[in-house]
């Protein structure tokens, strides 16, 4: 199992509140105030919605099936996930993985923005509606914002559907189409971080076989 390094623990120690009760999400979470994972500072960050079951169990963002899938897709388009910072809009797992509510996102925003301040990313891949709204104020479906870049306070935010919605489609006819759209967003993110790697991308034929089996 992946573990936080000692230096990551030291970075977050002053910020983390393991006894936080600022919103109702702490009540059912195993890991309260589950902060980000990755190098600090870091040019590229990936912002999800909320910890899922595995993330809650292990106290690390994006360590479950969706995280494995996302890391593989990032590698496929030429990004090293070890050089990215992964974190979530709310830091405690919502019951039954429901979407975090607006008041929970607001309550957790000091942790979100404190992490952004320390990580100082140039670009953030923003996964899902809740994450997009939290960092840019934009409302509405993430699928309408895909393909664009929202620039705010010197940071380029790249809207992208959540990888869990792609993983869920793995046996559907629309899977390859959705996967292609998903990867095009990752490429936008990559090209902000590494403008010279501006190459064309095609979904590999064996993409479905390469999904994580976990």
Stretch that binds ligand SF4, among 6-14, 24-32, 146-154, 165-173 (CB under 6 A): 24-32
Tell me, by CB under 6 A, how many residues bind ligand SF4. Answer: 15
DSSP letter, residue 37: B
Q: Is 45 helix (H, G, I), strand (E, B) or coil?
A: strand
Is 31 or 185 the residue whose CB approaches ligand SF4 more closely? 31
> Cβ of residue 1: shortest distance to ligand SF4, in angstroms?
22
CA 166 to chain centre: 14
Is position 90 an interface residue for ligand SF4 (rule: CB under 6 A)?
A: yes
> Cβ of residue 105: shortest distance to ligand SF4, in angstroms?
9
> E strands, 81-212, where?
84-88, 123-127, 150-152, 155-160
| Antiparallel, parallel or unpaired: β 150-152 and 84-88 | unpaired
For the beta carbon of residue 116, count every other beta carbon within 10 angstroms: 19
> Cβ of residue 74: shortest distance to ligand SF4, in angstroms?
26
Contact string (CB under 6 A) for ligand SF4, positions 99-138, x = contact: -----x--xx--x---------------------------
Q: Who contacts 12 (Cβ-Cβ below 8 Å, separation ≥6)?
A: 35, 36
CA-nearest of 16, 76, 60, 71 to 203 is 76
The pair of three-digit structure tokens given for residue 72, joined into one six-digit string: 């593989």
Binder to ligand SF4 among 11, 12, 22, 62 (CB under 6 A)? 22
Q: Who contacts 139 (Cβ-Cβ below 8 Å, separation ≥6)?
A: 133
> Cβ of residue 29: shortest distance to ligand SF4, in angstroms?
6
Among residue numbers 31 through 50, which ones bind ligand SF4 (CB under 6 A)? 32-33
Binding positions for ligand SF4, rule: CB under 6 A: 20-23, 25-26, 32-33, 90-92, 104, 107-108, 111
């Amino acid at each position: 199992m992946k573990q936080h390094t000692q230096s990551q623990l030291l970075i977050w120690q002053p910020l983390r509140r393991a006894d936080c009760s600022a919103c109702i999400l702490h009540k059912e979470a195993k890991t309260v105030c589950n902060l980000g994972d990755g190098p600090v500072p870091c040019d590229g960050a990936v912002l999800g919605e909320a910890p899922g079951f595995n993330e809650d169990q292990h106290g690390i963002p994006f360590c479950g099936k969706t995280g494995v899938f996302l890391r593989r897709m990032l590698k496929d388009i030429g990004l090293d996930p070890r050089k990215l910072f992964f974190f979530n809009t709310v830091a405690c797992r919502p019951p039954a993985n429901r979407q975090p509510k607006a008041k929970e996102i607001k309550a957790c925003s000091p942790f979100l923005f404190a992490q952004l301040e320390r990580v100082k990313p140039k670009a953030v891949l923003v996964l899902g509606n809740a994450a997009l709204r939290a960092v840019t104020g934009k409302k509405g479906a993430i699928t309408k914002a895909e393909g664009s870049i929202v620039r705010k306070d010197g940071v380029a935010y790249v809207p992208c559907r959540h990888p869990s919605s792609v993983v869920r489609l793995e046996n559907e006819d629309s899977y390859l189409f959705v996967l292609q759209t998903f990867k095009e967003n990752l490429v936008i993110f990559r090209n902000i971080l590494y403008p010279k790697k501006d190459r064309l991308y095609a979904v590999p034929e064996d993409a479905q076989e390469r999904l994580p089996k976990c």
